[in-house]
Amino acid sequence: MAWYLAGYSEKGQTKRYSYGYRRFSLLGAFINAVVLIVGSLYILSEAIPRLLNPEHSSAPGMIVFALVGIAVNGVAALRLKNDQTMNAQVVACHLLEDVLGWVVVLVVGLTLVFVDIHVLDPILSILITLYVLYNVISKLKKTVELFLQATPTSIDLDAIVQKLEAVPGVKSSHHTHLWSLDGEHNVLSTHLVVDERTSREEVMRVKATSKATVNDLNLEHLTIEIEYGDKDCTLEHRGEAK
């Protein structure tokens, strides 16, 4: 499901989805997180009673699962090693964490071959599930923030406003909004106020310099409104820093 939606996200723009389909990958991440949280809670509800009532667990079974887990995640991580994109790096990092998790399972499985400590199995399940839950919830938080059009945490909006206002010919700026379609591809809009007597050539220069200023933000959409003097704005400045 999440993969299907992530594949969709590369699709171009249509009339109905004029921003393109980038946010479908966000939707996929959201559904993924919900499924993982429900699954984790189910595992916890099974494992916690077993702490009090430990049963004999199958050491060979754990070892087989661990070896398969290490192989599958390890191969996937290696395949991503040469991909430098941000997303691939995050996924590779996550796969390596999974490999470490399986190594722990393997160690516990081998231990159980020699000493039969029944409580080890539920303790291990609970620790791994809590670790997964912690990661899923922090990722879910980021996804929800993106849906709510928060400024991405890696971006300093004040610094951008300062840089735009430093562009020669710009007197002030307002309504500077930066949000992200999917955490990677961003959208910026701003109003720049110039002097009422600014010539066409100067406006062109202001626009070009402003675009160059925000060039490093991986913008997929950029909207710059040029206003002549303070009274040109048709929008209210509701609680916004002018």
Contact positions vs Zn ion (CB under 5 A): 175, 191, 221, 233
Closest contact distance (angstroms) between CB of 45 and Zn ion is 46
Closest contact distance (angstroms) between CB of 238 and Zn ion is 8
Q: How far apart are CA 212 and CA 41, in angstroms?
A: 49
For the chain, the distance separating the N- and C-terminal CA atoms, rounded to the nearest angstrom, is 44
Q: How far apart are CA 32 and CA 86, in angstroms?
A: 19
The runs of H, that is alpha helices, within 53-156 are 59-80, 86-114, 120-147
Based on CB atoms, which residue is closest to Zn ion, 197 or 238? 238
Strand ranges across the sheet with 170-180: 170-180, 186-194, 219-228
Comparing every residue's Cβ against Zn ion, the nearest one is: 233
Based on CB atoms, which residue is closest to Zn ion, 156 or 240? 240
Instruction: Report which of 70, 127, 62, 122 is spatially closest to residue 100, judged by C-alpha positions.
Output: 70
Based on CB atoms, which residue is closest to Zn ion, 67 or 226? 226
Closest contact distance (angstroms) between CB of 230 and Zn ion is 9
Length of the chain: 242
Based on CB atoms, which residue is closest to Zn ion, 126 or 233? 233
Closest contact distance (angstroms) between CB of 218 and Zn ion is 13
